[in-house]
Amino acid sequence: MNQNHAQIARLLSQAWAARRNHDADKALALASRAVSLARAENHHIGLIQALTKLGQLKRDAGDIAGALLLYREAEAVCRHTGQKRLLAGTVRHLGDIFRKNRQLMRSRTAYEEAVSLYGQDPETSELELANAYRPMALLYDELKEPDIARSYWQKAYDLYRKLGVEAGVQECTNHLARTSR
């Protein structure tokens, strides 16, 4: 890891620590510095990571429009540089934003791409895949497509159960019970 990437990673780690400590202003400032450094150094992976972290912080703060711009920029950098693994997570988060804004067809397109990308990558963890199935299930619940929703809840349930992620198992169990009526 070169020195600039290490500095970007350190800034993002400090930003996430500030987030955990409920210091949103500090977190935003640190993540913004990481974005600036990554841009100045033309460090694509660092830029994608910094943009998505800053985007999450903007979402936390309720600045959905600002978050959308950051995730869109990260998506463009991913596509330009062929970073499919990072693209999967980025488009999943874009799907979350679209779903929250009731742009359900755009959300579906983003989630489908994320699931496809995760499925094509042999390094995708089962947790990443479960975390991609979950919002697909939520979306199909909102679209009033219970059979499709149920299939995604079941896929997520199976993975969360295998991994011992109790909160995920419980959420899936609750939704499966509701969709089987």
Average pLDDT for the chain: 95
Residues 6+ apart with CB under 8 A from 32: 54
**Shared domain check, 142 and 96:** yes
**Shared domain check, 180 and 162:** yes
* pLDDT on residue 72: 98
**Shared domain check, 160 and 88:** yes
133-142: average pLDDT: 96
In angstroms, rounded to a whole number, what is the distance separating the alpha carbons of residues 124 and 26? Answer: 32
DSSP per-residue codes, 99-114: HHTT-HHHHHHHHHHH
**Shared domain check, 35 and 15:** yes
Q: Are the C-beta atoms of residues 84 and 117 closer than 8 Å to each other?
A: yes
**Shared domain check, 47 and 126:** no
**Shared domain check, 45 and 95:** no
Q: Which residue would you say has higher pLDDT here, 179 or 106?
A: 106
In angstroms, rounded to a whole number, what is the distance separating the alpha carbons of residues 114 and 85? Answer: 9
Q: Which domain holds residue 21?
A: 1-80
**Shared domain check, 96 and 67:** no
**Shared domain check, 158 and 93:** yes
Residue 19 pLDDT > 60: yes
Give the N- to C-terminal CA distance of the chain in Å, as an integer.
53
Confirm whether pTM is higher than 0.85: yes
Helices (H), 21-125: 24-41, 44-60, 64-81, 84-100, 104-120
Token output for 38: 């990554």
Last residue of a domain, one of 32, 60, 80: 80
Residue 1 pLDDT > 60: no
Confidence of residue 181 (pLDDT cuts 50, 70, 90): low
Q: What is the CATH number of the domain that holds 118?
A: 1.25.40.10
What pLDDT digit, counting tens, does each position of 61-114 carry? Answer: 999 999 999 999 999 999 999 999 999 999 999 999 999 999 999 999 999 999
